[in-house]
A and B are shown apart, each in its own frame.
Chain A
């Protein structure tokens, strides 16, 4: 469900980044000031800060936890089958005596790692492809838009599910690549829209007339100007990727048995969820908490990086400041969107 949320979220950022001069110049002094400003605005947002701390803590615990616990994720305790949480097994044990705590930590490790990797990879791909399509236009543009439209008709979840039986022996890194390969399209479309408006700006034209190569212009002038969007999007994509991964694993199409992810743990645990809730509740709660924390970080980053966002300031100012700009840009964005689909 985050697929389209990304588009809308980013649309909000797009308005500010494209509609107002973010920082046309690249003076090093100006950059640090902006960095400090963003940091201050981010730190002011309590919820985002808590989210960041929670994500970091969870990730660290996921690696430290198994080290502290005497059990490993594939070991069995033959003296304790299906026991509820106790001092020796913090989250209880499974039917065959596996320690739920260590398995959950292992699953959290896997799910968060996959999420982070997919978020970063897919956003990078989206940035390059979207900027290329927007900047070069023509065939590159049309092909990209067709891909995005195709993804609309053929949900990426369906493609991944179809592909999964052929990839069951290949390990989770291939799974990461596949997940990333089918989750960049929507972001790419937003990047394309922003590139279309950035392309006509003076500093890009100046670079072009100075004879800079197109790829240098994209890397030096276009992408840095939408850095805020890309950072926010990468964060949101992490949350989406975690949800997609656990979903696929839940169906048995993702991470494969000897290994565990939060999705497989929840699937195995829910078969007897009503009598032995400790089997799936830890994994379920950790999954919700981690995605929630990632989403809060994304939300906080948007507020911090988006100059038109005024959370925490007074309401009257907000209404006046944003109304005119938003009205102007929303028309522009709409034409670019409908033009793309038609």
Chain B
């Protein structure tokens, strides 16, 4: 089992490097970081442009630029943004903001998604099943940015009805917040509810559909009948034998799901003015900044790596055949 996990880890690391290289090259090829400088009025002298190009290493071939950037990244220096501020200074805070959103979103999404799926499968063709199915379909057909906007809309109605600001939808905390520790936590929570809901709803809908079909397959199986025949209660048989088997195909899905979560995260951050990694990517692309883009890509790749590796681990725990 250790060998299996180690091989997967190695595979992921190579993929990570390759993905970052690809993003770096694509960004270097399509971005024109000097345009902003050239369009200034009066136009700056050619020497200034050349100096900037030299500073951004545009006079070097792309693989060399990548090697330089990666060399720095390994030592914790991700280069500078196009405006000259070091990326590392901002990185920690932004990673924290994004991870908070992703982790809570994933845990909520997987937990509730599996629960809804299992309940739907057990109560197949009842009202609750139809209701959950319809709701999941609607959520899956709604893009994240629209879902977030509609939630904002709802929150505003709620706030007006309540007369105070129950749910906040700009930023991740109130700027210059002063108050006790408890009040600060409450303030963060008020800001956290809507973005987390935005990101988790899609995950819940997605996982519940899979979990439902996986569970339905298991429900008709012989081993579940055997488990009940040997004297287990239906509930025990369902959870000990049924759910465990039905979770196996899900393990592979969690890695996929995380990649999608990151895309959704970019929208959510943009929508609720959270200054996280997704928001940074958009900034990076609009300011034609290769370093920011590469840094965000590396972050995404590492996230997918960790979640992929964790889902391999989960797979190994759930399915004894892998451990052989």
Contacts and interface: CB of A to CB of B under 8 A. Distances in A.
A337 B311 CA distance: 14
Contact of A318 (B220, B256, B304): B220
B16 interface: yes
A2 B143 contact: no
Interface string B292-303: 010011001100
Contacts of A291: 141-142
Contact of A152 (B8, B222, B256): B256
Interface in A1-43: 1-5, 7-8, 11-12
Contacts of A270: 145, 149
30 contacts: A1-B140, A8-B209, A11-B249, A152-B256, A153-B15, A153-B18, A154-B19, A157-B266, A158-B296, A161-B281, A162-B27, A162-B285, A163-B26, A165-B31, A243-B141, A247-B144, A247-B145, A251-B266, A267-B145, A270-B149, A273-B152, A274-B153, A280-B149, A288-B142, A295-B137, A318-B220, A327-B217, A327-B221, A334-B249, A341-B8
A239 B141 CA distance: 8
A133 B304 CA distance: 25
B260 interface: yes
Contacts of B141: 239, 243, 288, 291-292, 295
Contact of A8 (B145, B210, B255): B210
A155 interface: yes
A4 B249 contact: no
Nearest to A11: B249
B301 A253 contact: no
B285 A7 contact: no
A167 B137 CA distance: 33
Question: Which range holds the interface residue count of chain B?
Answer: 35 or more
Interface string B22-34: 1100110111100
A330 B285 contact: no
Contacts of B285: 161-162, 164-165, 253
A246 B213 contact: no
Interface in A147-171: 149-150, 152-155, 157-159, 161-167
B268 to A, nearest CB: 12
B262 to A, nearest CB: 6
Interface of B: 7-8, 11-12, 15-16, 18-19, 22-23, 26-27, 29-32, 124-125, 137-138, 140-146, 149-150, 152-153, 156, 202, 205-206, 209-210, 213, 217, 219-222, 248-249, 252-253, 255-257, 259-260, 262-264, 266-267, 270, 281-282, 285-286, 288, 293, 296-297, 300-301, 304-305, 308, 322
Nearest to A333: B249
B146 A5 contact: no
A4 B304 CA distance: 14
Contacts of A250: 143, 145, 267
Contact of B140 (A8, A152, A295, A318): A295
Contacts of A327: 217, 221
Contacts of B144: 247
Contacts of B253: 4, 8
B202 A1 contact: yes
Contact of B256 (A7, A247, A280, A292): A7
B32 to A, nearest CB: 8
Nearest to A285: B146
Interface in A242-272: 243, 246-247, 250-253, 263, 266-267, 270
Nearest to B28: A162
A296 interface: yes
A25 B40 CA distance: 70
B23 A159 contact: yes
Contacts of B217: 322-323, 326-327, 330
A7 B153 CA distance: 34
